[in-house]
Amino acid sequence: MLNVNQLSVHYGMIQAVKEVSFNVQQGEIVSLIGANGAGKTTILRALSGLVKPSQGTISFEAQDITKKQPEKIVASGLVHVPEGRHIFPGMSVMENLELGAFLYRDREESQAILKTVFARFPVLAERKNQDAATLSGGEQQMLAMGRALMSRPKLLLLDEPSMGLAPIFIKEIFSIIQEINRQGTTVLLIEQNAKMALSIANRGYVLETGKVVLEGTGAELLESSEVQKAYLGG
């Protein structure tokens, strides 16, 4: 579904991503793990067209999207939930969700999608008229994910969905990610909580200073002594 080949990204003179190659098959949950500064967020930003690679190619469903504009990438079915959630303050929960459906001119279709989002996130239905900025961190994460789902993604890019959340919300968010995946959406997940990320992943890649240094199934990486030592406190 997604094929990243020899991807490099520079910020001025600094090379943030160094010839990274990986793939995501349809129906999978794939996790990218690594320390802060390893290049994980930059990779997602390159996939969604927010930064332009200095080298390499990105193909999605056999179409080259390396130089496509972000809105065209969203329209193709690849949707990014950024780190920090980036919900729109001063706008209601409902208005935030409606912005996620900007691709759909057909009101009936967007209403049908909204119904499924409210079924998955009942708290958003309860608070649909509330200013999005007044939601708790966990509720804002649900809103960010709900807004992304409004555009009917085929592949969902999630950047640090558990960041800053209480443990009870973290468990709930990961459960929701699995449910979204079971219902047909492929997921590429970046997450500081390596144990949680790998426990739900079909496969994973470990990044260090912009390079892939290890790959395997989620179970293999959880059992890897290198991963345990670096990320799991083992």
Cα separation, 54 vs 209, in Å, equals 17
Nearest Cα residue to 48 out of 99, 96, 9: 9
pLDDT category of residue 105 using cuts at 50, 70 and 90: low
φ, ψ at 55 (rounded to 5°) = -160, 155
End-to-end alpha-carbon separation of the chain, Å? 34
54's CB contacts (< 8 A; 6+ apart) are: 8, 9, 10, 15
Query: Is pLDDT larger for residue 35 or for residue 184?
Result: 184
The structural architecture, per CATH, of the domain 2-231 is: 3-Layer(aba) Sandwich (3.40)
- Give pLDDT tens digits for 115-154: 999 998 999 999 999 999 999 888 998 999 999 999 899 9
Averaged pLDDT, 28-50: 94
Residues 7-24: tens digit of each pLDDT: 999 999 999 999 999 999
Whether the Cβ atoms of residue 155 and residue 123 lie closer than 8 Å to each other: no
| Tokens of residue 37, six digits | 């500064």
Domain range list for the chain: 2-231
Confidence of residue 229 (pLDDT cuts 50, 70, 90): confident
Structure tokens belonging to residue 145: 């994910």
Tokens of 67: 């130089």
- Dump pLDDT digits (tens) for 153-185: 999 999 999 888 888 888 888 999 999 999 999
What is the band of 86 on the pLDDT scale with cuts at 50, 70, 90? confident
Classify each residue of 178-198 as buried b or exposed e, where b means 16 or more C-beta atoms within 10 Å of its C-beta: eebbeeebbbbbbbbbbebbb
